[in-house]
Amino acid sequence: MELKYRRILLKVSGESLMGEKGYGIDPEVLTKFANEVAAVHSLDVEIGIVIGGGNIYRGIAAAADGVDKVVGDQMGMLATVINALALQNVLEKKGIFTRLMSAISMEEMAEPYIRRRAIRHLEKGRVVIFGAGTGNPYFTTDTAAALRAVEIKADVIIKGTRVDGIYDSDPEKNPDAIKIPEISYLDVLKKDLKVMDLTAITLCRENKLPIVVFNMNVPGNLTRLVAGEPVGSTVLQS
């Protein structure tokens, strides 16, 4: 199979792991997600993954008003590691070699993030899961995904969502929302489209790193996307 992308950074929100649950991880959703990653991995695509933590942290936050912003962000970092461990476990049950690399020190569970080591793992065919965001408060996992993608020289950031691309308004709230197949970084910022946060978009723009937004819930979508089929929406240099 001819592939458009050889090294990808896949960004998935923590909320996407909830399925129909109000919080936590739905094992069925996690398995489907792992199946998609495994299918792409079988094509010898090098895969880095960043997962958010909103499925765990926000479940706590609902009953914990008044948490300090820095403390809340630290809780969120730990939540991403929980999700990363869950994904690592499912992937390894499928016979895929993985490495979990953390931006904060927790060597009993994860390797410390070292850029050169991460690239070497990718070259050896291991799926690398990046946990704990950037390791700093005030930065989202969107920014962590953009940063890691630039550092490992990924060909693209692929953002898995519940909708099939970028729209001019929220298609889950507005049935008349119009899909935008291709858009520039500047237009994303000008139109205030919620593709990724400002820091992440700026980092991608400065490094000419394309972003593809697609529906992760459609089986085979990730494989089609990597093969270059017109799946989702793309953010590019204009």
Q: Express each pLDDT in 146-195 by its tens digit.
A: 999 999 999 999 999 989 999 999 898 999 999 999 999 999 999 999 89
Q: Sign of torsion, CA 169 18 220 49?
A: positive
pLDDT value at position 44?
97
Beta carbons of 197 and 140 less than 8 angstroms apart: yes
Cα–Cα dist 216/130, whole Å = 19
The predicted pLDDT at position 62 comes to 55
Question: Between β-strands 211-215 and 156-161, what pairing exists: parallel, antiparallel or unpaired?
Answer: parallel
CB–CB of 99/126 below 8 Å? Answer: yes
d(CA 31, CA 36): 9
Contact 132, 77 (CB under 8 A): yes
Q: Compute the distance between CA of residue 90 and CA of residue 29 in angstroms, rounded to an integer.
A: 11
Residues of the chain with pLDDT under 50: none
Pair of tokens at residue 11: 């960004």
Backbone dihedral angles phi then psi of residue 129, each to the nearest 5 degrees:
-105, 125
State the pLDDT at residue 66: 79
Contacts of 234 (CB under 8 A, 6+ apart): 181, 182, 183, 210, 211, 212, 213
Tell me if 17 sits within 8 A of 29, measured CB to CB. yes
Three-class SS of residue 137? coil
pLDDT score for 181: 96
> What pLDDT does residue 21 have?
83
**pLDDT score of 23:** 85
pLDDT at position 60 is 65
Residue type, 153: K
The pLDDT value recorded for residue 238 is: 66
> How many helical (H) and strand (E) elements, i.e. helices and strands, does the chain have?
8, 11
Under 8 Å between Cβ of 158 and 231: no
- Assess if CATH 3.40.1160.10 describes domain 7-18+35-186+207-236: yes
Q: Given this model, what pLDDT does residue 59 score? A: 61
Each domain of the chain, given as residue ranges in start order, spans 7-18+35-186+207-236
DSSP letter at 186 equals H
β-bridge mates for residue 158, sequence order: 10, 212
Q: Is beta strand 111-112 parallel, antiparallel or unpaired with respect to 7-12?
A: unpaired
Amino acid symbol at 21: K
The model's pTM:
0.95
